[in-house]
Amino acid sequence: MSVCYCNDCKNAFITKNESENGAVCPKCGKNLPIISENEMKSKRDAIYLSALHKKQVALYPRDLAEAKELFLSIGSYRDSSEQIESCDYLAERLIEREKKESQLIAFSPKKLKRILKIVIPTVLIAAAIVTACLMLAAPLKYARAKNFYKNGNLEKAADLFDDIPTHAQSIEYLEDIYKQLSEKQGKFVSCSTLLPYFSVNKAGAITFIRTNYSGDGNIVIPDVFDGIVVDSIGTNAFKNYSSLKSVSIPDTVLSINPYAFYGCKKLKSIELPEKVRSISPYAFKGCTSLENINVPKGVASIGEYAFSGCSSLSFPELPSGLKEIKNSVFLGCSSFEDVILPESVEKIDSHAFSGCSSLTRITLSKSVTVIGKNAFKGCDSLSRVEYGGSEDEFKKISADKGNEKFTDADVSFSQ
């Protein structure tokens, strides 16, 4: 893909169909040449404004995708990294809107009226029956629960008290039961009655329900919740929760799912358990205050955009088994100064370190054979490469377009 710019209609666009004659402007039909890197630098303000206009008038996710590609093409210019994040966010909202609209079409006013005539009376009758049953059942359950509690059968007692949290002293009993279970098992054990701001699915993925939370933003995640061992931070678990200051993750967690901490702008540091094996795409994207994070030794995969936009982050020590630095993983991490890649890394994908404007030195081994497009675009301070092989081996590295700062840097060889 390449960038074209039309001086007549002030339109910038990405073309996939390159030819010797350039490409045709989709707005005015003029035949245009492909923009070179030098021309792009001189026209990047015009490209930025054109991309901004496309983003503002976008009606569909595909329009935002084109605007995003234009912002990517000009690297760290202006607030491109923020605009890229905004394009992703707006695209998600458009997809959600389209889904809602398609659902609304399925229910015509006549059908809805007919459904309501049947459903409302049925629901009211059912509610009355359930209420009557609960009024009779609660005292019996309470008495049974107390009996189990006295006999030391804490699990059965907790199940019964959990069903009647508003009856008598059920909450006080539950608090004591889960305190005893935590001490007994050596883990933080709790339930949705005591911590209503969490939910967990059958697979053990935990999610934070912010509307039920009234704390100070310092959150402790339990090891066991509602009888299920917590083994992952769920997709979108804390997404865009701007009040999150700190989070304690239990040792049972094995994976950080997509968008888990996306946009948590007040989160400054986080300690991942040593059992974590994967960090999914967009997991910490946009955590602008995040300064420190440990990447456990067993992590074999870090997804694309995982730390994109973490502008305060210091480069973490990566595990020795990591083979690939994926697309845009560290895009816009402008605090990086010295990057040391483990010997296991074989490939650096496109835009991996794009916009790391403070990066001055990178150390990599002879295992690296491929560097994707614009992997080091916008790394204007990069001047030193420490290479773990010979000069001949370094020359064999396949470096795509947009990596001039890497290829033009001073290189020292260990062989």
All CATH 3.80.10.10 domain ranges of the chain, comma separated, are 190-313, 322-415
Give the whole-angstrom CA distance, residue 62 versus residue 60.
Answer: 5
The yes-or-no verdict on residue 106 having pLDDT over 90 is no
Task: Please return the burial class of 57, using the count of CB atoms within 10 Å of its CB with bins 0-12, 13-18 and 19+.
Answer: exposed
What pTM, to 2 d.p., does this model score? 0.66
Cβ neighbours of 348 (radius 10 Å): 28
What is the amino acid identity at position 37?
Answer: E
Q: Which of 30-44, 219-233, 280-294 is least confident?
A: 30-44
**Average pLDDT over every residue of 344-354:** 97
Q: How high is the mean pLDDT of the chain? A: 91
Q: Exposure of 172 by Cβ count < 10 A (0-12 exposed, 13-18 middle, 19+ buried)?
A: exposed
pLDDT confidence of 413, banded at 50, 70, 90?
very high
At 338, the pLDDT band (50, 70, 90 cuts) reads very high
CA angle, 377 then 10 then 36, to 5°? 35
Write the CA distances from 360 to 183, 193, 368, 405, integer angstroms.
50, 52, 19, 10
Q: Looking at the predicted structure, is the pLDDT value of residue 224 above 90?
A: yes
Q: Give the residue from 347, 352, 354, 308 showing the smallest Cα distance to 327.
A: 352
Residue whose C-alpha is closest to residue 23's, from 56, 55, 1? 1
- Smallest CA-to-CA distance from 280 within 260, 264, 298 is with 260
Q: pLDDT of 317-331, one tens digit each?
A: 999 999 999 999 999
What is the model's pLDDT at position 339?
97
Q: Given a cut of 70, is residue 121 above it in pLDDT? A: yes
CB 1 within 8 A of CB 14: yes
When the candidates are 3.40.50.720, 3.40.1180.10, 3.40.630.30, 3.80.10.10, the CATH number that belongs to 322-415 is 3.80.10.10
DSSP 8-state assignment for residue 26: T
CATH number of 190-313: 3.80.10.10
Band the pLDDT of 97: cuts 50, 70, 90.
confident
Q: What are 247's two structure tokens? A: 């989070």
Residue 327 contacts by C-beta under 8 Å, 6 or more apart in sequence?
304, 305, 349, 350, 351, 352, 372
Answer yes or no: is pLDDT of 382 > 80: yes
**Distance of alpha carbon 312 from alpha carbon 332, whole angstroms:** 10
CA pair distance 402, 74, nearest whole angstrom: 10
Q: What is the pLDDT of residue 123?
A: 82
Does position 340 have pLDDT exceeding 90, yes or no? yes
**What is the reported pLDDT for 164?**
87
As a whole number, mean pLDDT of residues 108-120 equals 70
The pLDDT tens digits of the residues spanning 132-159 come to 665 667 888 899 999 999 999 999 999 9
One-letter identity of residue 370? V
